[in-house]
Amino acid sequence: MTDMSEPSDLIMLRDKLRAFAAERDWEQFHSPKNLSMALMVEVAELMEHFQWLTESQSAALPPKTQQEVGEELADCLLYLVRLSDRLGVDLRTAALEKLDKNAAKYPAEQVRGSSKKYTEY
């Protein structure tokens, strides 16, 4: 397991998002329900950039699209950090713990090169 005691850029983002929302009196709108819905909207906006592209096209985006995708990814990250803050979830710790669980569910020597779900092997 990775050391989870070191400081994180996620803490800095969390603190900036708290200040951003407070300055605008948006706390009242940032319920977990609303934030999760906003996150899904941003994910959908991200997906729009890839809709109808081939695999190779999706891996070689033109610079303008790459910039737009970066902005959508940033929106997703910001909503995710804000939602985790409102729910009291340490996102960094949760992600590292989930990665450990996934490593146990998908042992590299058993699943290398396979896209099957862990229940299928």
34 part of a folded domain:
yes
**pLDDT > 80? residue 2:** no
According to DSSP, residue 118 is labeled G
Q: What CATH number has the domain bearing residue 66?
A: 1.10.287.1080
23 part of a folded domain:
yes
pTM: 0.88
* Structural domain of 86: 11-105
Distances (CA, A) of 100 to 1, 9, 81, 96, 121: 7, 21, 20, 6, 19
70 part of a folded domain:
yes
Rounded Cα distance between 108 and 121, Å, is: 13
5 part of a folded domain:
no
118 part of a folded domain:
no
117 part of a folded domain:
no
| pLDDT tens-place string over residues 37-75 | 999 999 999 999 999 999 999 999 999 999 999 999 999
Give the count of domains, the chain: 1
